[in-house]
Amino acid sequence: MCPSMELKTMIKKLDFCTHYSVRVYYEDTDAGGVVYYANYLKFVERARTEFLREIGIPHEDIKKKWSVEFVVRSSLIDYIKPAFLDDLLEVRTCCVEVRGASSTLKQVVLKEDTLIVDTTIKIACISMENSRAVKMPSDIRVAFDRIKIT
């Protein structure tokens, strides 16, 4: 799959996003010699945790302050190129949509300038009391809105 012009533009935009480095170790690979397909969801979650910390709404704080937390509602993953043992990957994370009770993130995994994996992750805000979807507290919403890419 040849990265389209649209994709190049997207990656360029992602320059302005949060960067997170991941080294590929044995635990991440499988007998096919490549990174196991489920493990990219681990990489993007690590990056997402640091992303939320950076934009001022880390997991722990929002639990304590508002008794809410984020859960993943859906993950879409396109596997473009394989990654290998010892590769140094980079995850770039940005927010592409903000709604009342959810937010959609774009998270791509790159190896230098090559796109390895392209994901779209929808996270929803739920009450810790009953696990139901709730409106995001306005501080959280503002944090997402401020860094949203359009």
- Catalogue the active-site residues: 30
Question: CB of 27: closest distance to its own copies in angstroms?
Answer: 5
Q: How far is the CB of 31 from its own copies (least distance, A)?
A: 4
Quick check: 148 binds its own copies (CB under 8 A)?
no
Give strand ranges (E) for 24-113: 68-79, 88-98, 102-111
Distance of CA 93 to the CA centre of its chain: 5
Please, what is the minimum distance in Å from the beta carbon of residue 118 to its own copies? Answer: 9
How far apart, in whole angstroms, are the C-alpha atoms of residue 15 and residue 72?
24
**Chain CA centroid to CA 126, Å:** 18
Using CB under 8 A as the criterion, which residues of the chain lie in contact with its own copies when the complex forms?
Answer: 23, 25-27, 29-34, 36-39, 41-42, 45-46, 49, 59-60, 69, 71-79, 82, 84-86, 131
